[in-house]
Every structure is written in C-alpha cells, then in structure tokens.
Chains A and B, each alone.
Chain A
Amino acid sequence: MKILVSAKRVSDPNAKLAIAKDGKWIEGEVEYILNPFCENAIEAALQIAEANDGTETVAIGIGDDETARFIRQGALARGIDRGILVSAEEETIDSDLIARIYAGVVHRENPDIVLLGKQAIDGDSNQVGQLLAEYLGWPQATFASKIEVSDGKAVVTREVDGGLETLEVTLPAVITADLRLNEPRFASLAGIMKAKKKPFDELEIDDLDLENTETKVQVVGLVTPSGRKAGVLVKDVEELVQKLRSEARAI
C-alpha cells in the first residue's frame, strides 16, 4: 500500500500579520509552522503504515526551499519514507490549482490513500481534499477523527454538525484529518538525522501535465477587520445581571 500525505507550511496564527503593499498577501517577518492538520495527517499515515507491513509513505509539499525544509523536518523526520516538492509560488495559487497539482502527483505515484489536513489555517478554505477527490473521481471521507484500514477499504469516523458519522470508503480514497484524529508524535534526533538522507524529489509544475496553471479564485485585497473594544469589568454577579438587564437588554 502507498499513502501520499500533505506537508503544508502556514504562517503562525499567533504572529502579527502585516498586509503587503499591494494588499494581496502578507509580508514582513512571518513565522511559519507546519499546518497543524497536516501534522494529524502525517501521524495518521505513520500509524496506518505501522499497522500494515509494506506500506510506503510519501509527503508532498508545494512551494520553495523553505517548504522543502518543512517536508523534511515535519514529515520525513517523523518517519515518512520520502518527500516530493513541487516548485511554485505559494502565494499566488488557489485551492483549485493546489488540488490539480496534487492530482498530477497522484497520477505519477498511484497511492491507495491521499491523506490531507482538512484545512490550512492561513487560507482557511477547507477545499483541497474535496476538490482533489472529485478531480480523481475518488470517494472522500473528510474531517476524520478515526480511520481503520483493512481489505482495500477504510472505515472513517467524521466530525460533522450534530455528531459523528461513520463511512466506509473503497480505496483509493482521499481522507482529510481533523484535530482529534491523533496526537502527532515529535521527531526524534535519530529521525532528524535519517531525514537528511531520505529520497527527495523536486518537480516543476510543468512535469505534471496540467491543462493550464490558471487560478480560478484570486485575492484582490486583504483588510484588517474592525476590532472589538474591550468592555468593562464588573465586580460581582449582581452587577453583571443588572448590566445585562438594563444596559445590554440581553436578558
């Protein structure tokens, strides 16, 4: 069995974000982290591989040398077998082009499972896994909190509005990871050393036979939403109730 798993870097949500002069992306001293949902996807890939002898795991990222570093340190150092970087300018590509790039890599690699994070915490679109599944004509199980793989099938429990839904998908399939899927492991020192020697391919978008590289959605302007002002501190429950009643008229 073969599993392809995403390793996307994202800007740290706790860092201060400055809007670039053209208003279309962020700039300045941006701190990057591995997308937390990709960490869950990587952990799930490793667990499936550990439970199924002979499983190969491959991490894929789109970007530049910095992204390559995240693939090595975030995925290969944790135990993923090899890495693929597709060179592209991350800022200007949309979810649709990412999905088509992944589909191009899937056609070269023929994995049984593609495991992605359910969303990237910078763009917050929550689309790529679903788009990819449709481009491939594969079934999908998104927002996974539990995955069991056996006999060419995956039984996936999904976190949905109102509770937990369980689906059985016939492989090959796309699965996207939610946060409660697992606790991502840390890379060991030995893992970090090994990662440097693991196979690593660099591809250009041109290698993937895409029909075109046009985006369908463009960010035309970023704005800072108007903030919320801090209100007042009340001294006790009585004052809180009184304010909620007569000032806010909320109760």
Chain B
Amino acid sequence: MSKVLILAEHDKGALKKVTLNTLAFARQYVAKFGGSYDFAVVGHNVGGVATALQGYGAGAIHVADHADLAHPIASAWGKVLADLAKSIGADVVTGPASTTGKDVLPRTAVRLGAGMASDIIALTDSGAFARPMWAGNLTGNVKISTANKVISVRASAFDAAEATGGSSPIQAFAADPALAGSRVKFVSFDGVQSTRPDLAEAAVVVAGGRGLKDKFGAITEPLADVLSAAIGASRAAVDDGFAPNDYQIGQTGKVVAPQLYFAIAISGAVQHLAGMKNSKVIVAINKNGDEPIFEVADYGLVADAFAVVPELTSQIKALRG
C-alpha cells in the first residue's frame, strides 16, 4: 500500500490545472499499487487552493502556510514537503514537472533518501516510469529502487483528472522553512502580462519562429485572438528577443500537447519537436517545403507566413461570425 503526496501548483492564490494532470498519474499509481493520495499545498495565503481541491477524492489536503513560503524557494519548499511526507508516512511524492516542480522536488528526494524519476509520461504495465530521453527520440523506462520515490509528471501526457465529489478534510501543517531558506532572498518577479490562456493549458497554440522577426506579435496575436489560443515560440525566436522566455516550446522549454498546434515559420529542429509533437493536430506554415516540421504536420502549407497567416486569421474569423 502506497501513500502518494501530490504537490499542488498554484499562482496568485488560484489552483493551476497541471495539478489535476499530476493527480491523474497519482490515481493510476494508486490503482496499480493500492493505497491513497493526499495533496500538499505549500505557500502563503493559499486557503483557496486547498478548498478548490476538496472534491478530488484525497484522503486529506495538507496546508503548509507560512510567510517564508510565499515564494517557491527550493530549499525551503523542498524541506517542508519532505517534512510533511515523513509526518504523514507518504512513500511517494509527486508534482508537475513545471519549473517549480523541477526546482523543488529533487531537494525533497534527497531529504527522503528517495530516487527521483523526472518528467514521466506514463506508468507502464510492469510498473516502470516511462520518460522521454534524448529530446524524446527514445523513451526510457526507469525503475526506482528506493522505498521512497519522487516523481515529476509531464502534465501534457496525462488528461486532467475529474472531480469525484466528497469533501476532503483540510489539515494545517506546522511548517518550519526558516533555516532551509535563510540563505536565499526573493528579489523580484518580472511576469509576462497576458490575458491569454496558459500555454500548458491551452486547447490551441499558435507558435512562431525566428523568421517572423519583429512581426512576431503582429502575425501570431490576431490568429491567437480568434482561436482563444496561447502563443508559443521556437528557441531561436526567444533567443533573438522576438518573444519572451515564457513562450519557449521544446526540449528545454515548455512541453505542450494541445488539440491544435500552429507552427508558423518554425523549421522543426528536434529540440522543438520534443515540445509539441504529441499535439493532436499540427499545422505547419513555412515557405521552405523541405523543413522537418512538415514530417510531423497533419496539414502543411508551403507559403510565406506574412502573406497567408493574416488571410487564415480573417477566414477563421469569418467562419466564427
């Protein structure tokens, strides 16, 4: 019997959907190995996050609320999460492979003497954790040989879990982050201001490449507007300053799997494909028909993006009346 502790992801006091993708993995794990799952909500003034999780069948929702946990300082969060796991007897700690999960979870693993599998995409029939390696060119099935296990989950590989009703109890956990975080000071956060859906959660993603240059926004934004899409970018477009770092899709950026993905003026380097090739429908628009993006696209249009994307935007707009 396992007890799985799920680190909830939240932003500005609201639950993030990647938590529910991670829950889907936890439910699979518990269905296979038996046991139950709890949530850990770490932060400050996060009562609303705990409440939002009450209908999802957890044994309990543990809230570690402390002013020193307001920002996800890895040393402090990692310690609190490990302390909580020990106090409730959790043998598995899991969380989304977001930048917070990637930052925090390995530290928890060390404190629990646990091996960690990163960014997993499936639990195999034999109970191994499948994870992409070599930019997704190969899938590695890995086993963790320690009694305690830490697992970060690639959210796009698991459909978000549904609420099951009921009302899980909320329990306060007396967190002690003080020493662990004392040599780190939060200075500032420069957030991308956007009213668009989160890249990780969007049903439609419009992604642009370096070729769009300073017209990056002028080309991608109107199309994203008519489709209520998130905007993404290739690494090259971000490196050259045409798009913010938060937009980067790929092996070392965000991994997305929307219903519909537009790759506009993106060549399709293996590192970019690693971040989007599991999208349901892929549309590639590129003036060079030899680019590798066309090898994964369901629909390819060999054309100049500057000419056809505005036309595409207005046709879709017309359709939607």
Contacts and interface: CB of A to CB of B under 8 A. Distances in A.
Contact of A251 (B146, B282, B319): B319
Interface in A147-182: 155, 158-170, 173, 178-180
A180 B103 contact: no
Contacts of A118: 252
A163 B192 contact: yes
A95 B152 CA distance: 14
A28 interface: no
Give the interface SS of chain B, mostly helix, strand, loop or mixed: mixed
Interface residues of B, number: 89
A168 B297 CA distance: 44
A131 interface: yes
| Majority secondary structure, A binding face | mixed
A167 B184 contact: yes
Contacts of B315: 237-238, 241
Contacts, number: 259
Residues of A in contact with B, size category:
35 or more
Contact of A13 (B78, B105, B134, B260): B134
A30 to B, nearest CB: 11
Given A13-B134, A220-B142, A94 B75 contact: no
Interface in B113-129: 114-119, 128
The winner among B104, B131, B185, B259 for most chain A CB atoms within 10 A is: B185
A108 B89 CA distance: 36
Contact of B128 (A14, A19, A221): A221
A203 to B, nearest CB: 22
- Residue in A218, A234, A240 with the greatest tally of chain B CB atoms within 10 Å: A240
Most buried by A among B106, B191, B296: B106
Interface string A209-236: 0000011111111111100101111101
Contact of A17 (B100, B134, B145, B271): B134
B301 A233 contact: yes
A13 B135 CA distance: 7
B300 interface: yes
Contacts of A190: none
B100 A167 contact: no
Interface stretch (B44-52, B163-171, B243-251): B243-251
A165 B189 contact: yes
Contacts of A125: 116, 118-119
Given A131-B106, A221-B141, 4 more contacts: A96-B116, A155-B187, A165-B189, A215-B115
12 contacts: A17-B138, A95-B106, A125-B116, A130-B102, A140-B75, A160-B99, A161-B98, A166-B186, A216-B116, A217-B116, A218-B145, A222-B141
